[in-house]
Amino acid sequence: MSEPIRVLVTGAAGQIAYSLLYSIGNGSVFGKDQPIILVLLDITPMMGVLDGVLMELQDCALPLLKDVIATDKEDVAFKDLDVAILVGSMPRREGMERKDLLKANVKIFKSQGAALDKYAKKSVIVVGNPANTNCLTASKSAPSIPKENFSCLTRLDHNRAKAQIALKLGVTANDVKNVIIWGNHSSTQYPDVNHAKVKLQGKEVGVYEALKDDSWLKGEFVTTVQQRGAAVIKARKLSSAMSAAKAICDHVRDIWFGTPEGEFVSMGVISDGNSYGVPDDLLYSFPVVIKNKTWKFVEGLPINDFSREKMDLTAKELTEEKESAFEFLSSA
Q: Mind telling me the catalytic residues? A: 185
Edge-to-edge order in the sheet of strand 5-10: 65-71, 36-41, 5-10, 83-86, 125-128, 150-152, 265-270, 283-291, 294-297
Residue 115's contacts (CB-CB under 8 Å, 6 or more residues apart) are 74, 75, 77, 78
**Element counts in the chain: helices (H) and strands (E):** 12, 14
Residue 126's contacts (CB-CB under 8 Å, 6 or more residues apart) are 83, 84, 86, 116, 135, 138, 139, 142, 145, 149, 150, 151
- Side chain identity, residue 183: G
Backbone angles phi, psi at 179, to 5 degrees: -75, 160
The closest of 117, 45, 104 to 74, measured between CA atoms, is 117
